Amino acid sequence: MSSRIRYLLEYIPFFLFVKMFSLLPLGVALKVGKSLGRLIYYLDARHRRIAVNNISAALGLGKPEADQIAVRVFENLGYTFAEFIKLPNLDKDYFEKNVTVEGFENYKKAKENGAGVIILSAHFGNWEFLPASHLIKMGETAGIVYKVTKNPYVDKFIDSIRKSYGLKTFPHRNTMRKIIGALRQGESIGMMLDQNARRDEAVVVDFFGRPAPTNYGLALIAIKTGASVVPAFAVRVGDGKHKIIYEKAISLEKSGDLKRDITDATVKFNNAIENYVRKYPEQWFWVHDRWRVQRKKGGVKEADEGQKDSDFS
């Protein structure tokens, strides 16, 4: 069977399910999404085990406590799925009523540097509502770097939802020059930095006190372009309610030692994410094997704008 046929056979039931789901009223969709997340918690033993082990090790909790948080993690993912599918139907009035914004002055101040803004975030809360609110509620323009889904039909569908409200999207491969170009024009680009990175694209720094291969591309771009890095997160504060929080820009050092500067910056980025995960552990993507360290240590190569693109997702 060819890859194209296999991808189509995977996509058709996915598409039909999503279309039927999109017909539900939002309130009903949220309840179904929560139940769906809880169901997957029970059915998906592998990701349940990863989540519980990660929570237990990172937060120093016993397995029963970690398990209680894990249930809520899966429920949050169910909520997020429901809201994402309904996103093309949500207008500015919805965001005005259901999404509050805090610290937007930090973003505006960072934007004044004229070198663009990198919005640092994570798979946290409903991470899709961060760019959506940024554009729909706050009237800004922005793009995001996203990891391409293996199935091209599913990937195109997901991308179409993001583009439906005017978001620019940059696939995570072969786009470094485009990202740098956008920043140099004063644009804002969202990047999530909470996923395990490939050895040749990572610097290994602590996350929750444990070595975690972290993509160094965000630090490299920020140092090369002078773009401000503003941490921002979409915190779920109730069923269908959210708070978008923009923190102050992270100060980056330029000592002349690029490797050290990239490592120091990446430590700060991980700390910014860790702070929010500690506050709201049930809202982070614990199902990902974040601390998977390959046998060979990750490192930072001598970097310039012509080097191989990095994976930011």
At 248-293, the pLDDT tens digits run 999 999 999 999 999 999 999 999 999 999 999 999 999 999 998 7
Q: Are 152 and 223 in contact (CB under 8 A)?
A: no
DSSP string, 228-296: EEEEEEEEEEETTEEEEEEPPPPP----S-HHHHHHHHHHHHHHHHHHHHHH-GGGB-TTS-TT---SS
Q: Quick check: 146 pLDDT over 80?
A: yes
Write out the residue range of the structural domain in which residue 264 sits. 91-283
Report yes or no on 260 lying in a domain. yes
Residue 69 is assigned to a structural domain of this protein: no
- Say if strands 202-207 and 210-215 run parallel, antiparallel, or are unpaired: antiparallel
Render pLDDT for 39-94 as a digit per residue (tens, 0 to 9).
Answer: 999 999 999 999 999 999 999 999 999 999 999 999 999 999 999 999 999 999 99
CA-CA-CA-CA torsion sign (232, 236, 240, 242)? negative
For the chain, percent of residues with pLDDT exceeding 90:
88
Is the pLDDT reported for residue 305 higher than 70? no
Residue 248 lies in a domain: yes
User: Over 50: is that where the pLDDT of 313 sits?
Assistant: no
What pLDDT was estimated at residue 306? 36
Q: Is the pLDDT of residue 170 over 90?
A: yes
Which pLDDT does position 297 carry in this prediction?
45
Block residue for tokens 């195109």: 156
> Rounded mean pLDDT of the chain?
93
The rounded distance, in Å, linking the Cα atoms of 18 and 1 is 25
- Phi and psi at 252, nearest 5°, equal -115, 140
pLDDT tens per residue, range 172-196: 888 889 999 999 999 999 999 999 9
Q: Which of 12, 28, 245, 289 is nearest to 125 (CA)?
A: 245
Into how many domains does the chain fold? Answer: 1
Q: How far is CA 56 from CA 53, 108, 295, in A?
A: 5, 38, 23
> Could you tell me if 224 and 183 are in contact, meaning their C-beta atoms sit under 8 angstroms apart?
no
The per-residue pLDDT for 238 is 87
Residue 33 lies in a domain: no
Does residue 138 carry a pLDDT above 90? Answer: yes
CA 29, distance to chain mean position in Å, is 22
Q: Is residue 192 part of a domain?
A: yes
Task: With respect to residue 27, please indicate whether it lies within any of the assigned structural domains.
Answer: no
The span from the CA of 180 to the CA of 277, in Å, is 29
The pLDDT score that the predictor gives to residue 296 is 45
Token pair in block for residue 288: 């990902």
Residue 135: name the closest of 166, 164, 170, 110 by CA: 166
pLDDT higher than 60, residue 312: no
Let me know if residue 313 belongs to a domain.
no
Tokens representing 139? 């009237």
